[in-house]
A and B are shown apart, each in its own frame.
Chain A
Amino acid sequence: MIEVKNVRKSFGKNEVLKDVSLTVDKGDVVVILGPSGSGKTTLLRCMNFLEKADEGKLVIGEQEVDLHSASGKEKLQIRRKTAFVFQNYGLFQNKTAIQNITEGLITARKVPKTEAVKKAEEVLEWVGMSDKRDYYPAKLSGGQQQRIGIARAVALDPDVILFDEPTSALDPELVGEILDVIKNVAQRGITMVVVTHEMSFAQEVASKVVFMDGGVVVETGTPNQIFYHPKEERTKKFLERIIPQDQYYI
């Protein structure tokens, strides 16, 4: 189980997260929705120490760390239990597709090289990128890069994968196929936290939807509850704007 407790974060005078808490059970697919500037991405980045929270705690399994004052060692321990999928893919430009995947296994987790390569080939096959095994990221399209980004995260076999708007930088026609890959990850039973603007994906895949606005969690529930029976006025307004009316009143 993963728990985020009372996270606060300001950028200068701008308070982005105001006391946010979140619980993710094993095998959960938590989708975080909300308008731009609601703090979803910042929350996700705080969970991986890519952003330093002003306050807050993170519990992963037995381990509890302070999101503000975690030591370098604690950060490393948490990062080795988690994986992150970036909006802009974040593939290592100087490494080939397969090296991108083996890097975290060999260098960070000390997995023997042959074993790491075997694992990497397996996930490459699974995301349909075996033929691009030795390509550098610069030679791959956005969709192909994101497949490798997801494969890299899955290969690490983490307790949770954090997806930060994984389809936002893609061509519209590629969004569907990447969402299919992510659905596949979900079907593997891997715990995930996904920040996205893809409503249909949230409805279909999420086990829990979190609606955030203005740096607070406004409402949490199953996709059914959030999309069809929202309790909060703010959630209703947000959904009205995003989901066509007729669909909303089904």
Chain B
Amino acid sequence: MGFEYDNFLDSLHYAVYYLPITAKLAFAALVIGIIIGLIVAIIRYYRIPVLSQLLSVLITVYQGIPTMVALLLYNLLFSFLIGGVVEGLGLNVEVRDVSNIVVGYIALSLFAITSISETFRGAILSIDKIQFEAGYSIGLTKLQTLYRIIIPQIIPTAIPGLINNMVGIIKGTSLVSAIGIMEVMNASIIPCSRTYSFVEGYVAAALVYWAFTLVLETIAKGIEKKTKGFRKQLG
């Protein structure tokens, strides 16, 4: 098993070229995960009847399904349904031309929501109840108390967990290569199919994922420092 430097550079070039697709998948999942995850965490914290129990069951069940399995299932479902959708909308496209990237978005977002909602729930539970009570006592509404008092306090607590979630999501994007979406993982092995030597492709992919994760982690840590200025201990 030799390591051809030129092939490696070739792979790296392809991987970097498709990084925007991976980044889009990761960011979309992260943003959807943070927004819906926070709402889910709040619903569960307030124990809103029915909704809270339903979400709790859904999350427990969903967390037990590997993302890969979910992805393959959704992809099957997608290929079953897409024909009907195209026909129903009267679109003039070939079914095989419709990109299944939407399957990647859905699977990764659901994964993000389940994991991020648990991070936020832990952060809310760590807040002293008196912070809510003090908000109510000065005449703030529940919503005002949430976004003026509680959410600013849970962000710095949640960020280490969120970084962890984010890294998991970025790594998770490589799974969508299994349903044929062209992103960093798939792109990096394009040259390899010519040479039948895959080591260069895998190393290139690893390098790109690592660098991407590192950059985002650094940014997130910067945000963490900024948001926890009100705490006694820095660092």
Residues of A within 8 A of B (CB): 48-50, 72, 75-76, 79-80, 82-84, 86, 88, 90-96, 103-104, 107-109, 136-139, 152, 156
Asked if A50 and B140 sit within 8 Å, CB to CB, the answer is no
Does the CB pair B139–A136 fall under 8 Å? no
Contact: A104 with B139, CB < 8 Å? yes
B218 CB-CB contact with A under 8 Å: no
Hey, which chain B residues are within 8 Å of A137, CB to CB?
230
The answer on a CB contact under 8 Å between B232 and A84 is: no
Nearest-neighbour CB distance to chain B for A127, whole angstroms, equals 17
Partner of A49 from B135, B136, B149 at Cβ < 8 Å: B136
Chain B residues touching A, range: 20 to 34
B153 contacts A107, C-beta separation under 8 Å: no
From the candidates A49, A91, A108, name the one contacting B144 in the complex (CB within 8 A): A108
B134 within 8 A of A: yes
Q: Can you list 15 residue pairs at the A/B interface with Cβ under 8 Å?
A: A48-B137, A49-B136, A50-B136, A50-B137, A79-B138, A83-B137, A83-B138, A90-B130, A90-B133, A94-B152, A95-B149, A103-B138, A103-B148, A108-B144, A138-B231
Of A50, A75, A88, A156, which contacts B138 at CB under 8 A? A156
Q: Does B141 contact A (CB under 8 A)?
A: yes
Taking CB as reference atom, which chain B residue is nearest A87? B130
Contact A138 B139 (CB under 8 A): no
Say whether B131 faces chain A, with CB atoms less than 8 Å apart: yes
- Given A86-B134, A88-B130, residue A108 in contact with residue B140 (CB < 8 A): yes
Q: How far is the CB of A203 from chain B (nearest CB, A)?
A: 28
